[in-house]
Structures are given as C-alpha cells and as structure tokens.
Amino acid sequence: MERAGRLRIGIDTGGTFTDVVAYDEVTGELTVTKTPTTPADPSVGFIDGLTKVLGVAGADAAAVSAVSHGTTIATNQLLEGKIGDLGFITTDGFEFMLEIARQSVPDGYGNSYFWVKPDRIVPADLVRTVAGRMDHTGAEIRPFDEAGALAVARWFAGRGIDTIAVCFLHSYANPEHEQRMAAVLKAEHPRAVVSLSHEVLREYREYERSMTTLLDAAVKPRVASYLRSIATRLDQLAAAESGRLPFYVMKSNGGVLSADEVIHQPITTVLSGPAAGALGAALIAREAGVSRVLTCDGGGTSTDVAVVTDGEPALTTEGRVGEYPSMIPMVDVVTVGAGGGSIAWVSPEGALKVGPRSAGADPGPVCYGKGGTEVTVTDAHLLLGRIPPHLLGGEVPLDEAAARSGLAALASRLGLTERDCATGILEVSAWNQANAVRQITVKRGLDVRDFTLVTFGGSGSLLACPLIDILGVREVLVPPNPGNVSAFGLLTVDVRIDYVRTAVRRHRSLDHGAVREIFADLERQARQGLERQGFGADSIRLIRTADLRYFGQAFEVRVPVPDPPAGDARGPAGDAGEPWFGPAVADAVAAAFHDAHRGLYGYDFRDDDRQQVEWVNLRVTGIGPIKRPALPELPAGDGDPGRARTGTRPVCFGRGEEFADAAIYWRPDLRAGDVLEGPAVIEEYGATVPLHPGFTATVDGRGNLRLRSQTRPG
C-alpha cells in the first residue's frame, strides 16, 4: 500500500491553521507542528506544513511512506453556496422532484413560517428529462430514449453547462439507463464533469439520492483541482524518489482512501476534518480507559461535537451539509459557529451575540494585526490573560493593544466595561458549544453526565472549565498536543470503502438466495476497491450490515449481519453444504433489530405478529487495516508540578471578578501524577488550558490532563 519510508504524515487543513503530525514507524516518535492556512490556495499551506514537519523531524521526502489529508474544501464550498452552473438530468415526468423535496419544521411552531424547504440547488431551467423507466425491482417498463438523451446532451453542451448530475428513477435497482446516458454525454459533451446517482449512492429515496448526486457534482471540479494540485506538488517534492508519494484523503465515514479514488466521488469528504478529529480523540480516550466520550473539536471557525461509544464514533446516513441533505455514510457530527475566530456582534435588539461568522485566517482576529476590525473570541481571551501574547510558541505574535481598542468600541455599544464585555463574549461562546453538545446528547435521549468530554483543537480546551459547570459532565480530558488531534486522527484510521444496495423485502417472505447474491456482489466490489489500494486478500476485512424497519415506518435502524463461517466468505453454500445466509441468520438479524429499536425508542414489536419487519438496505464496508501509532507513556514525576511552572500572569476568570495572579505552567514539563489547582494556565505549543479557580487538573499516564470541579466531584 505504501512505499518504503518510515514517516506517515497527517495534515489537517482548518479555517485558521493547518495542523501536521508525523509518525515515525521505527521509533514510534510523534512530531507535531502547525502553519497558517492559506485560504486563497490551501494547497500552499498544505505543502508548507509538510515541509515544516520534515524540517522539525530532520528528514526529507525519501523518509515519507504516505501522507493522509483532512480537508474542508467540499464543506466550505457548499456552506458558502458557491455551486456554480449545475445541470440535472432525470426521468421524464420527474422534473419537479427538487421542488417536492421534504417538509420540515426546523425551529418548531414559533417561526413565522411553517413548512420549510431548502432553495433549489439547480434552477428549474437547467433541469432536463429523458424518457425511459425502470421499476423498483430493476425491470425495464419503458425503453431508454436514445434520441432524447442525445438532444439533452447537446442542449447542455451548447449552453456551456459543464457540471451535470444524472439521477433516473429506481437506478439503484438497475443502473443501465444512467450508464447509457453517461455514454451519450461522453460522446456529445466530452468536457462535462458528470456524477451518476448509482455510483454516488445506490440507495432508494429519490429526492435524497438526487440531492447527494447533485452535491457530488457541484464539488467535483473544485475538489478534483485541489487534490490534483497537491498531488503535483507532492510529486515535485519527491522528484528525486522512485514512484509517487502515496496520498490519501479522509472520508466522512471514518476511513481514508487514495486521492485518485476520492476525485471520482468527492461528496464523501464533506466531514473529512471533523471525522478525523473524532477518531483521533476516540483512540486517545480508549487508551486512557474511557469508553463513553463526547468529543469537542474547537477550531478557528467552528466547534464540532460527536458521540463515541466503546471506541467508535456514531455514524449516520441522515446527515446534512448546510441546508442540503446528504445520505452518504458519515460520522455523526453537530457543528456550531463557535471557534477562536468567531466574531462578537450586537443584535438589533442590543444583545451580545457570538458567531457564526468568523474572521478566519485572513484577516483573522483583531489581535493578529492583519487588518481585522471585528472583535473575536481570541481577542477576548487575550484581553483577559487566558492566553499568552503569542501563538505557536511565539511564531505568531498577538497585538494586545489592538484587541483592547476593538473591545473598547464593542463594550461602549453594550454599555459594559472592557473586562465584562470580554467575559460576556466567552460566556456566550461557551453556551454555544454546550448547546452543540446537548443537540447530540439530550435531544437523542443520552444523559450528558454519563460521558467524559474530550476537548481538542486550537480553541477546544479554552472553555473546558465553564463547560463542566454548564453541562455537568464528570470530567474533561485534554490530550497532549490538543491542537493537532485531527491531524493525529488521520494516522489512526484504516482505508475504508462503503457499498450499499436497496432491496426492500418483508422478513416473512425474504428471498435468502437473493440476499446472498447481493452481499456477494457488494463484497466483490469492496475487495476490488481495496485491492486497487494495494491490500492483499488476506488483510481485507468485511463488515456486513442491514437497514431494517417495521412495515409502515419511514426510516430504518442499522444492525450487524453475522459473518459467514470460515471458508464460506461469499458463496451460496458453506463447506457442509448449508447456506450461509438462511433463515437462522435472517432471524438473528431481525432479533438484533428488535433490540436496537427498543434501545433507541423504548419499545419494540417482537411479540406482535401483526407488525412485520421489513428489510430495506444491505451494506458492506471493506476495511484495509493500517498500523496505528502507539501512544507513549509519560514518565512519573516526583509529585511537585513546580518544575513546569514558568511564572505568573494576571488573569480574569469570570464576569464581575478582578484580575488575579495565576500560575503559568509549561505542559511538556509536567509528569504523570502531577496535580494542578486553579487558578492557573497550562500552555504548550499549539494550545492553552485556563484552569479556573475551584478546578483541578491531574496528569495521567498517557499525558492527558483530567479536569474536574472540586465543588461537584464525579
């Protein structure tokens, strides 16, 4: 899979900084660094970070075995609404599918509107239809109109519409018509970038499949250009080496895939960075002996929150990118506009608000001295003394006078002192983060008090103590190098490919042979995909799942399907002549569905013969395993954290409080068993942890900080 070399490198591009981690597979050493993100061309910041980490590690390109990347290119494009001219080809008679859409009431009955639908991603005049029809079983009931397809292709070519999505009715069951449309487009409109729904999402629900395919088409040109630019720069960097430098991209499903493969399905990267952070935090928490985790990834622009149980973050196929639905498998993440660069502003009613707008990396917060004029969360932290007058160990100096001037202007509009304005900004930001945590816990029936909160990212741990107070979590765990956890996560994930096929059948009349054949086809695709990535047959692992529901329900519950016996990987019958997927396995899957339904909703119909179980989707995930970094143990100290103390600084920790001297500690000098008491500030290269009065921080054997409240222990 990878070329000779000892360094695997993870690079995560955020809104403000590009984070880099290099893992030496020989010595087990981790090297971390950061470099400013370059919004105009993020590939420049990517290469800058790679070059910088190689310099810190004292290595060159010959030492690199592979590079893995987490990117927000697709996410940012969709959130910013930069869709461009996008064409849509669908089945004759279904040209208004996007208007029909789905109905929702996002904010309850208090809104001035009731039914809400997203704006069209494609204008009505750029939708064209082609006659031809498949039914839900894949049988052709109306032949494909070749002449109509030819006219549609020429129509788009004549108007210069070069990005096109194709979604024909029931193509998940039989993709022949989409394949014929693609052949026509290739012949008549060869410059067109085309996304086909059966390649993007072979699953039923026409609106969601259409939207996912359209999103894939919308981001394909930009993502492809970006990834090819990086690949070219990597080739130039490794010009003296034999062979290309392997380049992988993080996918939303919690795995990585080669950039060449991702270019063909870029929608899979929409939660690339947050997924890497959740997986990295999951591994760190598992090594620390924590199984129920909430991850809180705070960056310059946003905070991403996810749930991790038994070392695995929750996955969903009901996610959204901004206001648009996307049914690709993705780590279940809630994102709020609450980061270090989030802008503080005054509402028309005169209330203090924070976010979701961000100053980003350019111009950045006022204290960056790059022309920013709007006060941010970082400016408030600086004024209150909670962060040092520089970032990245002194590489990025901060202008406290500029921050104070900006805060003075904002405070005068609110009728507050500068100090109370700054503490108010941080209170609002903390509540924004807490609300994200509650969205992914309380609103889903989970008790936040049963979890440990893992905070990371450049700004993720700055409000750790207030979050303990607001949420009532038992403790907060802050990993070593928290600003680089997402980049570290890129080194912990396997190569992963997902395949799905809709096959709606009642459990009582399930065709077990047909199910075996579908699983066999999905497994064949998964194996071939991983073999293209360089994995041998013996190393590939397959996971089978199925989506089930009670007949009449609108959505499904995913449950595992037992593996075949050894020697019966895919065939219709095992060594003893007994079929692998038969009534016994099907009944076991149905029983797992009943259990999962009761766990999610508090009831099931296990013993009610009137309520039938229905099978909907069959899924296979192919996994190519990689070697994960081993987390080093931290030497035990002598019980005196004074060795790490570098001095004191006046810090204000709360609204209405005065500045008081707080001890400053340099985290790399702390040792296992050290206990620190607030008020204090713990600093390291890429992050800072303010320890408020009434809180303690204990250093565990892996170097994690375990923050607890002294007034509300455990």
Answer whether residue 315 is part of any domain: no
What is the crossing angle of helices 418-440 and 400-414, to 10°? 80
> What are the tens digits of pLDDT across the range 603-625?
999 988 889 999 999 999 999 98
Per-residue confidence (pLDDT) for residue 36, from 0 to 100? 86
Domain count of the chain? 4
Answer yes or no: is 417 within a domain: no
Nearest one of 9, 66, 11 to 38, comparing CA atoms? 11
For the domain that residue 117 is a member of, what is the CATH number? 3.40.1360
Domain boundary among 593, 624, 655: 624
d(CA 441, CA 444): 5
d(C-alpha 250, C-alpha 259), whole Å: 9
Whether 42 maps to a domain, the answer reads yes
* Distances, alpha carbon 684 to alpha carbons 56, 356, 391, 509, in Å: 16, 27, 9, 62
Q: Measure the CA–CA gap between 352 and 504, rounded to whole angstroms.
A: 51
Let me know: does 88 contact 225? Beta carbons within 8 Å: no
The answer on 586 and 597 residing in a single domain is: yes
| pLDDT tens-digit series, residues 396-440 | 899 999 999 999 999 999 999 999 999 999 999 999 999 989 988
Dihedral, CA atoms, 515, 521, 527, 533, nearest 10 degrees? -130
> Model's pTM, two decimal places?
0.82
Q: Could you tell me if 185 and 86 lie in one domain?
A: yes
Grade residue 258 by pLDDT with cuts at 50, 70 and 90: confident
Predicted pLDDT at 243: 58
**Domain identity same for 165 and 143:** yes
For residue 324, is pLDDT > 70? yes
In a domain, 404, yes or no: no
Q: Answer for the pair 428, 451: CB distance below 8 angstroms, yes or no.
A: no
Whether residue 366 is contained in a domain is answered as: no
Q: What is the CATH number of the domain that holds 544?
A: 3.30.1490
105-115 tens-digit pLDDT: 555 444 444 55
**Quick one: 691 and 602 in the same domain?**
no
The verdict on 58 and 114 lying in the same domain is no
Question: How distant, in Å, are the alpha carbons of 38, 282, 615, 685 from that of 259?
Answer: 20, 25, 34, 30
Which helix (H) or strand (E) segment holds residue 438: the answer is helix 418-440
Residue 524 predicted with pLDDT over 90? yes
Q: Are both 123 and 45 inside the same structural domain?
A: no
User: Is 698 found in the same domain as 597?
Assistant: no
Tens of pLDDT along 300-312? Answer: 878 889 998 877 7
Model confidence pLDDT, tens digit, residues 353-385: 998 888 877 788 999 998 889 999 999 999 999
Domain boundary among 579, 598, 624: 624
86 located within any domain: yes
What are 16's two structure tokens? 């403000």
Domain that holds residue 586: 495-624
Residue whose tokens read 């070392």:
311
- Residue 578 pLDDT grade (very low, low, confident, very high; cuts 50, 70, 90): low
Amino acid in position 53? V
**Are residues 578 and 607 located together in one domain of the fold?**
yes
Is the domain of 178 the same as that of 106?
yes
**Residue 234 confidence (pLDDT) above 90:** no
Residues 650 and 705 in one domain: yes
* Token duo for residue 243: 């062979």
In terms of average pLDDT, the best of 56-65, 305-314, 656-665 is 656-665
pLDDT mean across residues, the chain: 88
* 32 shares a domain with 86: no
Q: Answer yes or no: do 183 and 90 share one domain.
A: yes
CB 74 within 8 A of CB 266: yes
Are residues 368 and 360 in contact, defined by beta-carbon separation less than 8 angstroms?
Answer: no
- Supply the CATH number for residue 56's domain: 3.30.420.40
446 domain-assigned:
no
Return the pLDDT at 569.
Answer: 45
- Give domain status of residue 633, yes or no: no
